[in-house]
Structure 1
Amino acid sequence: MVILLLVLASTGCDARLPQDEMVGVGITGIDHLPDHLSIQDFWVNGYNAFRAGQGSGTVCCAMLPAHWRPGLTVQVRWEIDNWRDKTYSMHEATVPVERYDEVGRLWVHFLKDGLVRVVSSNYGVPVDHPDNKHPVTDSIPQKEPWKMYPRSEGEPLFREVEDASKEADDGRDH
């Protein structure tokens, strides 16, 4: 092993693998959750993207390789707020980035079934892709849960639970 390293060093060869050129891209979150739930904060590979909504807000920036490669994933972390039950929960997943020919804005779909879909595209809100095993059929609700489920003055903020997307079992009618 030592001899191999000496040979490489003496010939001037670089034994490192080539690095992908990384490109900064905007991040947009799409919230497909029911009206009483919302994504108020999320992160992609540690970059805070703030609130997911209807696809109109974008923050800068996450880093993606200029060229897609098989096995490309991002780490997504998100907070689900349940405005009706006044609870929240944190979630995290390693999510594949769908194939792209040209790197573009990073669209993060938070789906009703708990899955997250990540697409890089320069062409509007991507909804479906022929290679996608989980097509987005969920609508994008037009919602403002903070208006639909207001808090009383002095009422405590959300309390953390294991999964805020599940209905609270506290005897209340929902």
Structure 2
Amino acid sequence: MPVEPMTSAVSGLQRLPRTPMNHLSALLRWLAALAVAGWVLTGCQSVASTASPSQPQKAKSFASGITGYNFTNEGVQYYVVDGNYGSNLPPYGGGGATSCCVRVPSQWQSDLTVKVDWVIGHYTQPWEKRQHMTLEEETACCWTQRTLTKTVPIERYGPDDDGLQVFFLPGDEIKVYVSDLGLGHEDHPSGMAYPERPATKP
């Protein structure tokens, strides 16, 4: 005898009779739902494992002020670093004025260079012979200067160093450092002291 449909007293909905076919259909639906849930969970875990945490990235370069030091007996009239002007420097002086600015990579590289153009000059006659001349006469008579250009490496610096320093050395040599330390500091990468004028012989 066929089984009559049963009515739920709670919901008022009819329940299907429990037959082997109904059990099979429910099992298949359950397995399908389980497969979908597993696929979604695996996908989420994959995305989570490949996603990198949000971290601020350090800038690839920064704008550095330019400072010069002159270790020669000639005056640096002006100098230019990669197209950016520095101030004039007296003989055996400098380090005071900072000009703006030149782009410097945050990470030092062994092939890192800058182009330095500069004009350097001096008077060929002592002040005693020039003191009564006008500026025009003094320049025409006794002033000589040279315009020079060099591409030079930047010495090794660390990720926290700042401030590009150009050293004008005897023999028209140039050294370039990146440091916010003054000359004479024990940690300055050059190991040099502030330029001093040689003592004159009595």
User: TM-score of the superposition, structure 1-length normalised?
Assistant: 0.60
Q: Which residue of 2 aligns with 1:149?
A: none
C-alpha displacement of 1:136? 5.0
Given the alignment, which residue of 71, 74, 96 partners 1:32?
71
Q: Which residue of 1 aligns with 2:118?
A: 78
Q: Which residue of 2 aligns with 1:43?
A: 80
Structure 2 residue 94 is the aligned partner of structure 1 residue 54:
yes
Deviating runs (4+, > 6 A) in structure 1? 126-132
Question: Which structure carries more helix by proportion?
Answer: 2
Given the alignment, which residue of 103, 106, 124 partners 2:164?
106
**Pairwise CA RMSD of aligned residues?**
2.8
C-alpha distance in 1 between matches for 2:177 and 2:151 = 14
Given the alignment, which residue of 174, 185, 194 partners 1:116?
174
Given the alignment, which residue of 108, 133, 141 partners 1:68?
108
Given the alignment, which residue of 141, 144, 159 partners 1:87?
144
Q: Which of these two proteins has the greater Rg computed from alpha carbons?
A: 2
Show structure 1 runs of 5+ residues with no match. Answer: 1-19, 143-174
C-alpha distance in 1 between matches for 2:79 and 2:155 = 19
Which of 1 and 2 has higher RCO (CA within 8 Å, sep 6+)? Answer: 1
* 1:126 to 1:113, Cα distance in 2 relative to 1, 3 A: farther
C-alpha displacement of 1:54? 2.3
Describe the SS at the equivalent of 1:113.
Answer: coil
User: TM-score of the superposition, structure 2-length normalised?
Assistant: 0.52
* 1:46 to 1:121, Cα distance in 2 relative to 1, 3 A: same
CA deviations on 1:39-93 (whole Å, 9 max, x unpaired) are: 0100000101121342111111111001111111000010002123401110000
C-alpha distance in 2 between matches for 1:106 and 1:99 = 12
C-alpha distance in 1 between matches for 2:152 and 2:86 = 16
C-alpha displacement of 1:128? 8.8
